[in-house]
Each structure stands twice: as structure tokens, then as C-alpha cells.
């Protein structure tokens, strides 16, 4: 006989992390950061056909201080990288980053000195969305997967430990330039 059976109907048992995660996932406020052709698909996903408002994302914020999700849509040039980092630093905690398109994820077809080969060299990325350009359905699917990550994220000191573990594993990883020619 569990505790649930002794409680009157209509009583819900959960944790503070569970409630906070549910509230945070249902109220993403994305920042507008469209850099190339992927931005057209990002704008389309906010239109009436795909309607991101169903997921609590009615308005794309123009101010980073009002946003908690940065969707980097398109290629990032070396000149734009410091601006991208500044906008990321101005966003309030907790904040998440979605790299939209192959150019934002890995530089895409632009393998030259002017384009950053992956936005994760500039800001930490929580979700990668491949495609050239990815369809609005793919963006919505990636956002829903990010919702799941956010809902199950830890809070307070547990979150700090989780971040430190992720940073430690990232520092131990081989640079992509060292992975050329390796078979795994």
C-alpha cells in the first residue's frame, strides 16, 4: 500500500525540479538570430501553417535580455562570431542554443577562412539540427526534443555539477582536426 492510495483524489505528488522543468519547457522565448537561408525556414515555422505558438513560442524576441533560446540559423562568419557571443552573454540564465542547419553545425559547404566551422566554437550548443536548409517540421521536432531536455534538467547545485561534468568531457574530446583519417 503506497502513499498515493492514502491521499484524496485530486492530489498530485511531484518534485520542485519536475514542476520547474515543466514550466520552463512550456515557455521558450527564442531570440531572433537568422544569418542566412535557414532563417527563412525559421520564420516559416512561426507562421500560421506550422504555428510555433502551440508550444509557447509566440514571439521571437528582439532583445537578448528577453530570450532564453538562441536559434543560430545559418552560417556564422568570423566577423559575426563576437557579436553572436555578446548576444549569448546578454541572455538571461537558464539559456539554450540550437544550431540550425549544416552551416551553423559544422560550417557546411563553406570550408574557408571566413566562416566559423561550427557555432560550438563560439557558444555551447544544446541541440544540432542538420539539413540545408532544414524544413520547419525538423525545427519543430528539434525544439520538442529540446523541451524534453529542459524538462528533465537539474536545478541548483545539481545543475552546476551536470555542467561541470559536460565541460570536463568536452575538454577531453579530440579536436576535429585530429580525427581526420581515423576509422572507428
37 is in an annotated binding site: yes
2 is in an annotated binding site: no
Nearest to 59 by CA among 82, 102, 27, 15: 27
The dihedral built from the CA positions of residue 155, 157, 158 and 164, taken in this order, carries a sign that is positive
38 is in an annotated binding site: yes
Within 13 A of 57's CA, how many CA atoms are on the CB side? 28
- Contact in structure between 38 and 103 (CB atoms under 8 Å): yes
Nearest to 125 by CA among 137, 144, 108, 142: 142
Phi and psi of 7, rounded to 5°?
-85, 150
29 is in an annotated binding site: no
Nearest-Å Rg of the Cα atoms of the chain is 19
DSSP per residue, 114-133? TB-S-GGGTS--SEEE-SSS
Q: Which residues are annotated as a binding site?
A: 37-38, 103, 132
Binding annotation for [4Fe-4S] cluster: 37-38, 103, 132
Amino acid at each position: 500500500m503506497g502513499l498515493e492510495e492514502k491521499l484524496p483524489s485530486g492530489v498530485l505528488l511531484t518534485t520542485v525540479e519536475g514542476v520547474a522543468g515543466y514550466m520552463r519547457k512550456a515557455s521558450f522565448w527564442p531570440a531572433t538570430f537568422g544569418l542566412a537561408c535557414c532563417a527563412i525556414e525559421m520564420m516559416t515555422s512561426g507562421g500560421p501553417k506550422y504555428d510555433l505558438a502551440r508550444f509557447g513560442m509566440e514571439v521571437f524576441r528582439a532583445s537578448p535580455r528577453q530570450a532564453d533560446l538562441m536559434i543560430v540559423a545559418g552560417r556564422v562568419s568570423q566577423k559575426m562570431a563576437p557579436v553572436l557571443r555578446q548576444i549569448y552573454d546578454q541572455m538571461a540564465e537558464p539559456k539554450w542554443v540550437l544550431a540550425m542547419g549544416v552551416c551553423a553545425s559544422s560550417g557546411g559547404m563553406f570550408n574557408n577562412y571566413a566562416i566559423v566551422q561550427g557555432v560550438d566554437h563560439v557558444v555551447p550548443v544544446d541541440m544540432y539540427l542538420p539539413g540545408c536548409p532544414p524544413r520547419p517540421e525538423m525545427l519543430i521536432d528539434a525544439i520538442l526534443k529540446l523541451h524534453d531536455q529542459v524538462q528533465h534538467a537539474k536545478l541548483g547545485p545539481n545543475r552546476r555539477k551536470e555542467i561541470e561534468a559536460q565541460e570536463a568531457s568536452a575538454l577531453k574530446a579530440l579536436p576535429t582536426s585530429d580525427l581526420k583519417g581515423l576509422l572507428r
